[in-house]
A and B are shown apart, each in its own frame.
Chain A
């Protein structure tokens, strides 16, 4: 299903199917994700949202069909794709500064990248914590460090698996604003998995609903561009509409 024609296709899923043993998780999904757009992927727990993200990231290979990014078939993880894991995966032995500079060291191999790292630390309000280890950080700070680690190499595709789960309401709001601003600044394509319908309506230009039968439906989000959506009644109306759709898909 094509979302719109103004933008170029970035990620293409072509009749992708995937199963774990006998259980089909993803069934014949075809979709074009457009460059510089944001997509929220929602659906019931354990339905295969993270599996779809893993297929696009190249961690899993589809049983049928294929995933292409910029016309190239995905055969494994690519350097231009960044993945924000639900578990974050921050190494206990790395300070905030070391964690954020690690991708640069590994991908680009540049020797002095402290200026770049410091600039991102400032942007994400992490400068005072740069010498701290993960266990010395709060949940929101850890989440921001993991976000910084995915952003540092300027990826063209950002995949996020429940980026704000396990956070309190205020911290969640802060992080959502941060994700939105960073995506706009960097102009990357964003696909994120969430359980939170409000988050999906807030951050997703297009909302993708994964059904229990493994199929996908796309819903344009008219509230995406509005200013201060949380203070606008149409935002909540859209949340109600998506919730109804989700219920319908589940039943």
Chain B
């Protein structure tokens, strides 16, 4: 028994079981339909796997598209802000101005410009996360030790070589940090992006259950969203370990 408890506490499952335990206590204490029992929710969750898969699949596709486009736009823009002092001086205040504004406020504009379909949903998520990517890149460049640039100068390198051997590898850890935050924010913003003109998406699923006051269904949707988060972060961690091996070893040391 002691051995089992020790193994349980050291495993990654311990946190999740603890969360379910607190949830159960809240359910018992508050005695309201708004907080259903975790066991009931889990039972419902496993009873509708295809429905949840369909909704989460639609959401993952939207998030992936938004993250992909924000990387394509955010990486070069952020690098430019980091490398070019004039660009940094001109655009950093603008970035600071836009960054804290709740982007959901622009939803009517996106609807008007991109319609009610997927493009406006993807654009909303993109608009929320692209600034995070840009800032991560810009800060990554500014954190590069000036002596590294001097080393590159001493080798008489071209600008292309400077990016290839210095700037890209130096900003990679910052990109992964930015990406981790962006994925978290984009999953959270699904709730807004999928609350109109769609019948697919985990955000829509949660909202629809909420309006129907079906809290078991709502919480199973929340659970599904959480599991998507776990999966995406796990994949990102694996990718980071592959692309930034020196960082992990450094952290372990």
Chain A contact residues, majority secondary structure:
loop
Interface bracket on A? 20 to 34
**Cβ < 8 Å to A, chain B residues 163-195:** 165-166, 169-170, 172
What is the CA–CA distance of A133 and B153 in the complex, to the nearest angstrom? 22
**Cβ < 8 Å to A, chain B residues 199-253:** 244-247, 249-250, 253
Give chain B residues whose Cβ lies under 8 Å from the Cβ of A205. none
Give chain A residues whose Cβ lies under 8 Å from the Cβ of B161. 106
Contact B156 A78 (CB under 8 A): yes
Contact B166 A91 (CB under 8 A): yes
**Cβ < 8 Å to B, chain A residues 74-102:** 76-79, 81-83, 85, 87, 89, 91-94, 102
Give chain A residues whose Cβ lies under 8 Å from the Cβ of B165. 91, 102, 106
Q: Which of B150, B153, B154, B246 contacts A135 (CB 8 A)?
A: B246
Contact B249 A93 (CB under 8 A): no
- With contacts A78-B156, A79-B156 known, is A92 near B150, CB below 8 A? no
Total cross-chain contacts (CB, 8 A): 63
Contact A77 B153 (CB under 8 A): yes
Tell me if B109 counts as interface (CB < 8 A to partner A).
no
Give chain A residues whose Cβ lies under 8 Å from the Cβ of B4. none
Contact A81 B154 (CB under 8 A): yes
Tell me if A72 counts as interface (CB < 8 A to partner B).
no
Q: Report B56 CB to chain A, min CB distance, Å.
A: 35
Give chain A residues whose Cβ lies under 8 Å from the Cβ of B170. 91, 93
**Cβ < 8 Å to A, chain B residues 71-117:** none
- With contacts A133-B249, A135-B250 known, is A91 near B148, CB below 8 A? yes
Give chain A residues whose Cβ lies under 8 Å from the Cβ of B147. 85, 87, 89
Those 4 A-B pairs whose CB atoms lie nearest each other, nearest first = A89-B151, A93-B169, A89-B147, A83-B154
